[in-house]
Amino acid sequence: MRKPGLIVAPLTPFTSDLKLDEPALQRQIDYVVRDCGATMVVAAGVETQEYTYLGFEQRRALIHRTIEFVDGRVPVMVGISHPSFKTAIELAHDAEKLGAAAVQLLAPLRPFAGPPTQADLVAYFEMIGRETGLPITLYLNPGPGADVSIPDTIALAKLPRVQLIKESSRDLARVSRLIVEIDRAGHARYFTTMQMLLATLQLGGSGATMPPPGSEIARHLIDAFVAKDFERAAELQLQFALFPSKWMHRGLAPAMKAAMNLIGVSVGEPYPPYVPLSRDEMAALAAVLRTTVLADRLPVTVAA
Amino acid sequence: MRKPGLIVAPLTPFTSDLKLDEPALQRQIDYVVRDCGATMVVAAGVETQEYTYLGFEQRRALIHRTIEFVDGRVPVMVGISHPSFKTAIELAHDAEKLGAAAVQLLAPLRPFAGPPTQADLVAYFEMIGRETGLPITLYLNPGPGADVSIPDTIALAKLPRVQLIKESSRDLARVSRLIVEIDRAGHARYFTTMQMLLATLQLGGSGATMPPPGSEIARHLIDAFVAKDFERAAELQLQFALFPSKWMHRGLAPAMKAAMNLIGVSVGEPYPPYVPLSRDEMAALAAVLRTTVLADRLPVTVAA
Amino acid sequence: MRKPGLIVAPLTPFTSDLKLDEPALQRQIDYVVRDCGATMVVAAGVETQEYTYLGFEQRRALIHRTIEFVDGRVPVMVGISHPSFKTAIELAHDAEKLGAAAVQLLAPLRPFAGPPTQADLVAYFEMIGRETGLPITLYLNPGPGADVSIPDTIALAKLPRVQLIKESSRDLARVSRLIVEIDRAGHARYFTTMQMLLATLQLGGSGATMPPPGSEIARHLIDAFVAKDFERAAELQLQFALFPSKWMHRGLAPAMKAAMNLIGVSVGEPYPPYVPLSRDEMAALAAVLRTTVLADRLPVTVAA
Amino acid sequence: MRKPGLIVAPLTPFTSDLKLDEPALQRQIDYVVRDCGATMVVAAGVETQEYTYLGFEQRRALIHRTIEFVDGRVPVMVGISHPSFKTAIELAHDAEKLGAAAVQLLAPLRPFAGPPTQADLVAYFEMIGRETGLPITLYLNPGPGADVSIPDTIALAKLPRVQLIKESSRDLARVSRLIVEIDRAGHARYFTTMQMLLATLQLGGSGATMPPPGSEIARHLIDAFVAKDFERAAELQLQFALFPSKWMHRGLAPAMKAAMNLIGVSVGEPYPPYVPLSRDEMAALAAVLRTTVLADRLPVTVAA
């Protein structure tokens, strides 16, 4: 069995004047690499990393600092998503120079209503793939990105440069089929997310991408799975049943930032207008986290 | 561990003049009880059973024959879904007289646009629950039925008479959360469907409801899970990755009827205007079924 | 200019034991024919008429009584919607015997998930069209019925037997295009609904179908339009801006029944579990109705 | 009657190396101001203007050039949409310095799934409104932006700084209600789009925002409406029934660029990966445009 992948997407800590809080990012990356056993770190790749708030130079700085703080301990993948293929190529060239191992690219929304066609999507990925030697991760996240059908996903996965897929859907019928038709078929490695991790591994998928501290639970889960301790793996999967789903109406970034702050790896507050969890919400979240492998990191003084 | 449930929904075989084909139903029920090890049979309960095409007396006849053919070997649950609570009660009274073990009731669509409120849904289930002593299965199937939110599902699960839930969603984030907040919390037993079965069992859910012949794969899967042979269980779950998903654009009833016909338990064709799978589609389906535990049932002569 | 059509769908009044309240239906039909100038009455045709709650014989009784109470003053169209084409045909044969002028048929939902194909829809309408000599109204109401695409709607409109279309969408881009490609192209007459009436007439559509008492406002609007008093027509269209939209979260049947009760043509309460408007909601609705042509029918004593 | 507004959004012409084609923009703006009678021009405000492909400095250049080419003939509104309120404020400050009359701001998508709350939306608009003295147009375009409910739209319209609303929906039930509750209630002026223009004016809305050459049809329509020639206004509205709806599967920008190229005001091709209309599609579009007020601009040699 190929070793399952755990791609971790560090949250972006902001200072009170909404600049990148570099020391907080560095501490978080140490946690992600050392304590979560990330097999790869993704820089400015998923929307939960709040990179869309950043100006272009700030975004490049976030990528640069992420690579610097990872410091070669694990490979880094760089998010290059942009409506313009030219800007995506520019970011890919930067990524190459910085020594990135791969780039991640959101299947883009058609700006003027209606879905992009398969031809549109293929053309976009091919234009970018021609200009970079790095492997491309196809990133699927309907909403900020396009809602890509099963046949269109398969067509994109067959492009030689597309070597990984990051799937945001929690639709297990879709994911089961695509793991078989894409990952087991040898076209690309299939990565999913927290709630899908054990099911993904059992079906032969390659792993998952997620922010911390979900990644610490995922590390335990992957280790149990590799050790064939499937009952323990199932217990760990259960730790993703309420966390973070129960706080998703607040958004994934606010929920995960709250959890990080609770376990003592401070990452600050969400970018406005989104607001941090309330005191009551924090207490409820702490109570749930106490039932997970994160329990030991919670201070005794946090009310349950 | 509680023994997992496998609730099987026999397909409805029609004669060429679109009446119930009783001998075909009887043979199918024997297969379902004997070969699939159904722990319960549901009569006229899910839309894939094509019961909505039947007039009221035909629907009652289907229920009656199903109970007769099961012949006490396993408990039978009776579908009583109807927009009118009065008709649902009438069907529940019939079910009681026929010795049914439970009734299944679709969360109803609001006929005049927009979703029913939690109060509407609770009132509907309470009106019916007051008139029957049988346990009620809350059946969730957005489209034919309402799209019930997580909070509304929990509210309905807390009604004393609602003791099971049949969930049609393949959204594993939703299902993970509801298994914890409903089944593990003791409010009702949570049943899902083919693609979700292993994940459901691992999270502590109660089983799944499905038509044959998926139920034969599910039987092997459940047995492997109970025997703690988790690698075998995962291999079996993988058999649901392409079947029936790859034929869902044709509809679940046409796909499952085709599979039954291929394994030699003939159930005829879908109710018009829906059409059977083409010769090429049948060949492709047979090729996939040859990779499953159903392979032995396929005749040697079917082209792959 | 062809005279615009106003097809009125009487609400179904229930007695306290949920049987058809025939005297209330008769009074309502008199209002609809005499005061609203309906050019056609539709019996048990749209979901707002709450016919889905009725058993088959009750549904036939509703149709029979509607035709009887209209008493030849205007043509009657009979709803024959049913998942089974055989039942629809049976209802069409009844309609013929009762002297109906047309039948109305909902584009059916595919019971087992996913949309019906164009071939499925065409086959269904053709099977029924072959068995009745009456013109068929294609009824489009996504939710209870299928969500039919623009090309599929055009394909159905081209069937010789399909002579009218009742469109429930409020999407003016869709409706504008279909009025041109269907009604102006001579394939079928296009009918819409309250909020769309003036726009429909101006584009060359044929009219609208709606329940009372919206139909009384519509009558004034149509008369103004025919008299080329377009400013008056626009003022009347404005009377549909808040009524009934502002109460649609309660459902169209509860909102329209409330309005009928306010203007003194009592039609009772919605079928359970749906509930009548509260006292406060009634007062707010009365205040809006006082700004419409219905004002004179409101008693002085209703609080505004 | 207040004079109806016609806000025109020039398409962005690109050179073959995907830079802003300034001469083409200038010729287009002359057409928009002189021939369409725009009452306001919006710079880089709607997605059909393809501004999301531009880097930040290119976007500022597009704004600058637009204002320069309009040259004070009519007021200019500047698009300041950005996920970050800080960047939106920066663009608003630029707009003030450049003499803009207003700014336009998209209700932002929540980047991490699920809708923003009313509080989130109000906070975002207030943060920006505090930093600029210019009136703000609330821009509603679900997909690139959030899907804002009726109550949330009303809440935003009540903010003092929000003085206009640009609504992209073609849902006439929604728009009818919001025109009454927002525009007629005095909270903000309500603008819609091509297919909705006559209905908007008749209900008391303020006008529409659209790209050319739809704006030339709209100019004729508004003039007929103001002259109370309502039959002519309806004929003109009918010219929007097929154009551009019939080409919307290709996207609004490709369709409108094709129409501009056909009438001789060349604006080039869509930004890749989107492609221009094919020769056959151009011929079909030309045939439709020949039935509109744009007919005179079409060369005789274009095949119909």
Nearest to C298 by CA among C209, C197, C216: C216
Main-chain phi, psi angles of A224, to 5 degrees: -65, -40
Report the pLDDT value the prediction gives residue B2, as an integer from 0 to 100. Answer: 77
d(CA A169, CA A209): 12
Q: B198–A196: do the CB atoms touch at under 8 Å?
A: no
Position D304 scores a pLDDT of 43
Q: Best of D150, D153, D176, D246 to disrupt the C interface by mutation (most C CBs within 10 Å)?
A: D176
As a three-state string, the secondary structure of chain C is CCCCEEEECCCCCECCCCCECHHHHHHHHHHHHHHCCCCEEEECCCHHHCHHHCCHHHHHHHHHHHHHHHCCCCCEEEECCCCCHHHHHHHHHHHHHCCCCEEEEECECCCCCCCCCHHHHHHHHHHHHCCCCCCEEEEECECCECCCCHHHHHHHHCCCCEEEEEECCCEHHHHHHHHHHHHHCCCCEEEECHHHHHHHHHHCCCEEEECCCHHHHHHHHHHHHHCCCHHHHHHHHHCCCCCCHHHHHHCHHHHHHHHHHHCCCCCCCCCCCCCCCCHHHHHHHHHHHCCCCCHHHCCCCCCC
Q: How confident is the model at residue A304 (pLDDT cuts 50, 70, 90)?
A: very low
Which of D19, D112, D140, D195 should be substituted to probe chain A, the one whose Cβ sees the most A Cβ atoms within 10 Å? D112
The token pair at A85 is 């293929």
Asked if A228 and A201 count as a contact pair (C-beta separation under 8 A), the reply is no
Q: List the beta bridge partners of residue C191.
A: C166, C207
Confidence band of A302 (pLDDT split at 50, 70, 90) = very low
Per DSSP bridges, beta strands A5-8 and D40-43 are unpaired
| Residue C51 burial (CB count, 10 A) | 22
Are the CB atoms for C151 and C177 separated by under 8 Å?
no
* B38 φ/ψ angles, rounded to the nearest 5 degrees: -55, 135
The dihedral formed by the CA atoms of B197, B201, B204 and B206, expressed in degrees to the nearest 10: 70
* Burial group, residue B304, by CB count within 10 angstroms (0-12, 13-18, 19+): exposed
Angle at C270 (CA atoms; ends C268, C276), nearest 5 degrees: 85
- A191's enclosing H/E stretch is strand A189-192
Burial class (CB in 10 A: 0-12, 13-18, 19+), D115: middle
Taking alpha carbons only, the member of A288, A267, A285, A266 closest to residue A277 is A285
Q: Hey, what are A69's tokens? A: 């703080």
Q: Which residues does chain B have with pLDDT short of 50? A: 302-304
Chain B touches chain C, with at least 3 Cβ pairs below 8 Å, answer yes
Chain C residues in contact with D240 by the CB 8 A cut-off are: 176
Rounded to whole angstroms, the Cα distance separating B22 from A247 reads 51
Q: Which of D220, D289, D298, D264 is nearest to D37 (CA)?
A: D220
Interface test with B, best of A172, A192, A210, A221 (most B CBs within 10 A): A172
| Long-range pairs of D295-304 with CB within 8 A, sequence gap ≥ 24 | D297/D213, D297/D263, D297/D264, D298/D262, D298/D263, D299/D264, D302/D262
> Which of C171, C238, C241 lies closest to D171 in CB terms?
C171
The pLDDT value given to residue B302: 46
Q: Phi and psi at residue D184, in whole multiples of 5°?
A: -65, -25
Residue of chain D whose Cα is closest to the Cα of C237 = D203
Residue A240 near residue A197, CB atoms below 8 Å: yes
Q: Phi first, then psi: what are they for B209, rounded to 5°?
A: -115, 135
Q: Which residues in A lie closer than 8 A to residue D114 (C-beta atoms)?
A: 248-249, 251
Rounded Cα distance, D241 and D214, in Å: 12
> By CB neighbour count within 10 A (0-12 exposed, 13-18 middle, 19+ buried), where does A276 fall?
middle
Q: How many angstroms away from the CA of B266 is the closest CA of chain C? A: 20
Report the pLDDT value the prediction gives residue B47, as an integer from 0 to 100.
Answer: 96
pLDDT in tens, A231-277: 999 999 999 999 999 999 999 999 999 999 999 999 999 999 999 99
Q: Do D231 and C231 touch (CB under 8 A)?
A: no
- How many residues are present in chain B? 304
pLDDT tens string, chain D, 304 residues long: the values are 579 999 999 999 999 999 999 999 999 999 999 999 999 999 999 999 999 999 999 999 999 999 999 999 999 999 999 999 999 999 999 999 999 999 999 999 999 888 999 999 999 999 999 999 999 999 999 999 999 999 999 999 999 999 999 999 999 999 999 999 999 999 999 999 999 999 999 999 999 999 999 999 999 999 999 999 999 999 999 999 999 999 999 999 999 999 999 999 999 999 999 999 999 999 999 999 999 999 999 987 644 4
Please tell me the distance from the alpha carbon of residue D225 to that of residue D202, in angstroms, as a whole number. 9
Res. C92: pLDDT tops 70: yes
Residue B304, pLDDT score: 43
Distance set, CA B180 to CA A216, B300, C113, C120, D219 (Å): 21, 45, 27, 41, 60
Q: CA-based Rg of chain B, rounded to a whole angstrom?
A: 18
Q: Is there a contact between B203 and A238 if contact means CB atoms under 8 Å apart? A: yes
3-state SS class at A189: strand
Cβ-defined contact of A86 to D18 (cutoff 8 Å):
yes
Separation CA A243–CA A229 (nearest Å): 22
Q: CB distance B114–C52 less than 8 Å?
A: no
Question: CA angle at residue B96 from B91 to B100, to 5 degrees?
Answer: 100
Nearest to D111 among A52, A111, A272 (CB): A52
D157 within 8 A of D167, measured Cβ to Cβ: no
Cα D281 from chain centroid (whole Å): 24
What local confidence, expressed as pLDDT, does residue A300 receive? 76
How does pLDDT run across A143-185, given as a tens digit for each residue?
999 999 999 999 999 999 999 999 999 999 999 999 999 999 9
pLDDT in the model for residue C304: 43
Instruction: Categorize the per-residue pLDDT at A2 as very low, low, confident or very high, splitting at 50, 70 and 90.
Output: confident
pTM, two decimals, is 0.97
Side chain identity at residue B106, one-letter code: L
pLDDT of residue C200: 98
Beta bridge partners of D171: C171
Helical (H) or strand (E) element with B210: strand B207-210
- The average pLDDT across C273-291 equals 98
A230 to chain B nearest CA, in Å? Answer: 7
pLDDT above 90 covers what percent of chain A?
96
Q: What is the pLDDT, as a whole number, of residue B1?
A: 58
How many angstroms away from the CA of C242 is the closest CA of chain B? 17
Distance CA A219, CA B289 (A): 35
Whole-angstrom CA distances from C170 to C140, C176, C267, D169, D207 are: 12, 11, 26, 10, 19
Q: Rounded to a whole number, what is the distance in Å from the CA of D177 to chain C's nearest CA?
A: 5
Report the pLDDT value the prediction gives residue D300, as an integer from 0 to 100: 76
Both tokens of B100, joined, read 């049914």
Which residue carries 């970011």 as its tokens? A91
Residues in chain C: 304
Asked if A238 contacts A291 with a C-beta cutoff of 8 angstroms, the reply is: no
Task: Please give the angle made by the CA atoms of C4, C5 and C6, to the nearest 5 degrees.
Answer: 125
pLDDT in tens, A24-36: 999 999 999 999 9
So what's the pLDDT on residue A272? 98
User: Quick one: tokens of A114?
Assistant: 């209606």
- Give me the amino acid identity at A282: M
Q: Which chain B residue has its CA at the smallest distance from A169's CA?
A: B171
A167-190 CB burial, b ≥16 within 10 A, e <16: bbbbbbbbbbbbbbbbbeeebbbb
Contact partners, residue A282, CB within 8 Å, separation at least 6: A258, A262, A302
**At A301, is the pLDDT very low, low, confident or very high (cuts 50, 70, 90)?**
low
